Amino acid sequence: MAAAARIGIAGIGLTSPLGDDLEGNWQRLLAGQGAVTRMSFDGVADIAAAPVTTDVSQVLTRLQQVGTERVSQMALGAVRKAIADAGMAAWADPERVGLYLGTGMGGAATMDAGFAALYTGGRIPPLTVPAGMVNGASAVVAIHADIRGPVLTYASACASSSVAIAEAAHALARGEIDVAVCGGVEAPLARGTVAAWQALRTLAPPDAADVSRSCRPFAADRAGLVLGEGAAFFVLRREDDLAAAPRAWLAGSAVRCDALHLTNPQVRGQVSTLRAALRASGLAPADVGYCNAHGTATVAGDPVECEALREVWGEHATALHVSSTKAAHGHLLGAGGALEAALTVMALRARVVPPTLGVAAVDPRCAGLSHVLGEARHAPDLRHAVSNSFAFGGTNVALVFSGV
Amino acid sequence: MTTLARLTDLIHDKFGVERDTIDPDAPFASYNLDSLTVAELMFEIDDAFHVTVPDSAATTVTTLRELAALIDSLPPTPKKA
């Protein structure tokens, strides 16, 4: 096998706040129809959040649902769609198929409900451990998609699914597997988890005038992040194994760590990650025309990311189109990188840059880049794009994609 | 309604198992209740029948008829003050 086998995206599947189909997500994003709404949880001030509104349990029969929860069901739904999108039904050799799944918090809602019952004099349900364990979704996907090679779970907070995609591509390139199913899932919209995020004082309040505009990345008046939930998965293959033209190529990736602070992002680590990803892709900054930013709309995070982009892109920074699609679908935490990667692939295919919704004026500290606000922008020369994921814990990931 | 009939209803309602596939004298696995599902069933029974099924039942009871007999032999769980 050639050392530099290209890795193609054969299929994409979503369970997203913007809907369950890829094209629908894309159209809704371009139409400016965000999924952020007001949600209430007992004992917690109302939050703005982006929930998945379909009945995700339908992917399993009631008997099969035993020991599973929302996080597993959303993951399985997206994986099935990704496999179907790749035109694959049964595997030639299930042991040559690997699953690389990122999730920050796994079955947090199950643990939350179990502990709540226990602490209030009730009984903790017997399947709390298997449903709540962080690799529960991986196990459910493996069982129902018959994946018998490496089945691995990556937990690096908001970079989890991007790490999983990067690792899956390496495993393919090394020849360890022939098919990689990779991506991530998160289901954080449960009372205890929401309360914990709110206690950290990072959540944006529901916008009083228009709740769908609560998440405003890069805006001068940004107010914090908005939680989302969902799953996004890819089927990756080596170029020689592709049955048809891929949706895009995963040109390269890099994973680095700030190693400085639990939560505060750092320019140094982001710059190093972006440069390493460009090197791995054999591309110069000027080759990359779009950055789907991490852009969580926190006061601290957005200026750091913009400074890192300006430093790496240098004189080309003002030509780099930048947007954060989190304004539309919220922050899917461990699944965020995968959903944003999917939308980045759609941007390459359409040669259209999706906008950051809801932003009237960019914070001067986020300036010096070609921010795409409000309306999508045609980018006929767009050939390569990068998707950033910068996590609590300091793990930074940049995934670089190339059009077909 | 007999305990056995109530158990059959519970399995049907909770797990979507068709009633006519539930043979009260056959092992739980014969109608696709694995060990985790049986553990979940025992948990539900405590609430539905106001009894406390001992943990050992998960391994010693293998059929629905045995389970019904066990439930009928248990004292009601005292109500919480």
CATH of the domain at A211: 3.40.47.10
CB pairs under 8 A between A and B: 31
**Cα distance between residue A324 and residue A386, in whole Å:** 12
Q: What is the mean pLDDT of residues A385-395?
A: 97
**Cα distance between residue B49 and residue A46, in whole Å:** 38
Whether residue A123 and residue B80 make contact (CB cut-off 8 A), yes or no, is no
pLDDT score of B46: 93
Please indicate, yes or no, whether residues A214 and A74 belong to a single structural domain of this protein: yes
Which residues 6-45 of B are in CB contact (within 8 Å) with A? 14-17, 32-33, 36-37, 39-40, 42-43
Q: List pLDDT tens digits, range B67-77.
A: 999 999 999 98
**Between vectors from CA A216 to CA A211 and to CA A220, what angle results, nearest 5°?**
125
Return the closest-CA partner of residue A102 out of A338, A389, A390, A273.
A338
Which chain A residue's Cα is nearest to B11? A63
Q: What is the mean pLDDT of residues A270-297?
A: 98
Q: List pLDDT tens digits, range A185-196.
A: 999 999 999 999
Q: What is the DSSP string of A157-217?
A: GGGHHHHHHHHHHHHHHTTS-SEEEEEEEE---SHHHHHHHHHTT-BPPPPSS-GGG---T
Token output for A160: 């989890």
Please indicate, yes or no, whether residues A382 and A302 belong to a single structural domain of this protein: yes
Q: Which of residues A183, A210, A241 is at a domain's end?
A: A241
For the cut 90, the answer to whether the pLDDT of residue A3 exceeds it is no
- Beta partners for residue A192, in sequence order: none
How many Å lie between the alpha carbon of A133 and the closest alpha carbon of chain B? 15
pLDDT score of B79: 72
Q: What is the DSSP string of A274-292?
A: HHHHHHHHT--GGGEEEEE
Return the closest-CA partner of residue A312 out of A248, A236, A386.
A386
Please indicate, yes or no, whether residues A208 and A263 belong to a single structural domain of this protein: no
Closest CB to A66 among B37, B42, B80? B37
CB-CB neighbors (< 8 A) of A67 in chain B = 36-37, 40
For the cut 80, the answer to whether the pLDDT of residue B81 exceeds it is no
Q: Which helix (H) or strand (E) holds A389?
A: strand A384-390
ipTM topping 0.95? no
User: Best residue in B14, B45, B53 to probe A by mutation, most A CBs within 10 Å?
Assistant: B14
CB of A235 closer than 8 Å to CB of A9:
yes
CB of B64 closer than 8 Å to CB of B4:
yes
Q: What is the mean pLDDT of residues B27-44?
A: 95
For the cut 50, the answer to whether the pLDDT of residue A2 exceeds it is no
CB-CB neighbors (< 8 A) of A126 in chain B = 36, 39-40, 42-43
For the cut 60, the answer to whether the pLDDT of residue A304 exceeds it is yes
Closest CB to A63 among B17, B39, B80? B17
pTM for the structure as a whole: 0.96
Give, in order, the Cα–Cα distances in Å from A95 to each of A101, A145, A154, A164, A180: 17, 12, 20, 18, 11
Please indicate, yes or no, whether residues A283 and A364 belong to a single structural domain of this protein: yes
Whether residue A126 and residue B37 make contact (CB cut-off 8 A), yes or no, is no
Confidence of residue A5 (pLDDT cuts 50, 70, 90): confident
Three-state secondary structure call for residue A226:
coil
Query: Which residues of A are tagged catalytic?
Result: 158, 294, 331
For the cut 80, the answer to whether the pLDDT of residue B14 exceeds it is yes
Percent of chain A clearing pLDDT 70 (strictly above): 99
**Cα distance between residue B60 and residue B72, in whole Å:** 16
Confidence of residue A197 (pLDDT cuts 50, 70, 90): very high
Confidence of residue B80 (pLDDT cuts 50, 70, 90): low
Q: Which of residues A187, A215, A241 is at a domain's end?
A: A241
Backbone φ/ψ region at A125: left (φ over 0), alpha (ψ -120 to 50), beta:
beta
Contact status of B46 with chain A (Cβ, < 8 Å): yes
- Beta partners for residue A401, in sequence order: A250, A385
Domain residues for A351? 249-402
Q: Looking at domain B3-73, which of 3.40.1710.10, 1.10.530.10, 1.10.1200.10, 3.30.1490.190 is its CATH number?
A: 1.10.1200.10
For the cut 50, the answer to whether the pLDDT of residue A258 exceeds it is yes
Token output for A108: 């947090």
Residue carrying the six token digits 């500290």: A365
For A239-320, list the strands marked E by DSSP.
249-257, 288-292
Percent of chain B clearing pLDDT 90 (strictly above): 85
Whether residue A127 and residue B42 make contact (CB cut-off 8 A), yes or no, is no
pLDDT score of A1: 40
pLDDT score of A104: 97
**Cα distance between residue B42 and residue B74, in whole Å:** 13
**Cα distance between residue A145 and residue B37, in whole Å:** 21
For the cut 50, the answer to whether the pLDDT of residue A402 exceeds it is yes
Q: What is the mean pLDDT of residues A139-164?
A: 98
**Could you tell me the sign of the dihedral formed by the alpha carbons of A248, A340, A52, A186, in that order?**
positive
Whether residue A126 and residue B40 make contact (CB cut-off 8 A), yes or no, is yes
pLDDT score of B28: 97
Whether residue B16 and residue A67 make contact (CB cut-off 8 A), yes or no, is no
Q: What is the mean pLDDT of residues A73-102?
A: 97
For A356, phi then psi, to 5°, come to: -85, 120
Structural domains counted in chain A: 2
Residue carrying the six token digits 């495993």: A171
- Domain-embedded: residue A2: no
Closest CB to B36 among A62, A123, A127? A127
Percent of chain A clearing pLDDT 90 (strictly above): 98
Q: What are the residue ranges spanned by the domains of chain B?
A: 3-73
Token output for B12: 């049907």
For the cut 60, the answer to whether the pLDDT of residue A244 exceeds it is yes
Q: What is the mean pLDDT of residues A164-180?
A: 98
Closest CB to B15 among A62, A123, A125? A62
